[in-house]
Homo-oligomer: A and B are copies of this chain.
Amino acid sequence: MTRIAAVQASPVFLDRDATVGRVCARIAEAGAAGAKLVVFPESFVPGYPDWVWTVPAGRGAILGALHAKLLANAVSIPSDATRRIGEAAREAGVVVAVGVTERNDEASGGTLYNTLLFFDDHGEILGRHRKLVPTGGERLVWAPGDAVGLRAYDTSIGRVGGLICWENYMPLARYALYAAGVEIYVAPTWDHGEVWLATLRHIAREGRAFVVGCSMAMRLDEMPADLASLYPPGREWINPGGSAIVAPDGKVLAGPIDCREEILYAEVDLDAARGAKWDLDTAGHYARPDIFDLRVDRTPRRLLNDK
């Protein structure tokens, strides 16, 4: 049995370095509690740009200023921010999956991705996955990613992979992870509620994997006052949380919890999960490769190539 953890917490909004501090502290705390995998929410560093749902696209001056702020606090890979997280992972001896807003330093430097970043328990970066399709208002801040990181990583605790928020509604993307043999499937998100929980349970059974749903618990008063003023009055929680951990048979092992910060823990037994594939193995005996020929273009989407 392996203990895994989902950190339902709040960032220091739009402050990368302070938020990385929180990441490192939570890694240490969960590691001390025996966890071998620690998952953080979508865009935890430096916070989820929730304004995309509140500020109309026509208000360019506000959006531009927020974009500059977000760019300045975005995560470059690698950078001091990633080195600090890696160091915390190494010291705690845990695998880490953390959502960040990443800057495209390899090209214009002005574009952001919604990225899921993986570290092994030696603190090395395993890889990064850039969210393939941002949802609705998110398209105002994040660019679509590529399939370079659409994979599962062999770690000391099994094969770990995941998708971000509503990417989890992309059947072909999920199938790609199943075909990669994912055993612990992390789903950092900004979504919550009963339909989202249903999705976590569905995925667990469909993929015969442990699923870790992980979202922020964040109050409105944690936002800068000028941003907060754009919200209707009387709202306390920007996001109540709803993190949960589900077993490969669809049973909920931990959570969901709402309206508080907390680290969820669950014990996972990969051997049992593997056995459950006897009657359903979506990318195995339960597929029809003679009928469905899925081809994934994994080439990086570079903006310029040197010959």
Contacts and interface: CB of A to CB of B under 8 A. Distances in A.
On chain A, which size bracket covers the interface? 35 or more
A290 B301 contact: yes
Contact of A275 (B66, B142, B201, B272): B66
Contacts of A281: 108, 110-111, 143
Interface stretch (A20-28, A31-39, A165-173): A165-173
Given A195-B205, A198-B201, A297-B290, A107 B179 contact: yes
A291 interface: yes
Contacts of A227: none
A283 B296 contact: no
A82 interface: no
Interface stretch (A6-14, A54-62, A115-123): A54-62
Given A198-B197, A206-B169, A279-B135, A293 B290 contact: no
Contacts of A272: 64-65, 68
Contacts of A206: 169, 171, 199
A305 interface: yes
Q: Which 5 A-B pairs have the closest CB atoms?
A: A57-B137, A111-B284, A68-B275, A53-B58, A110-B277
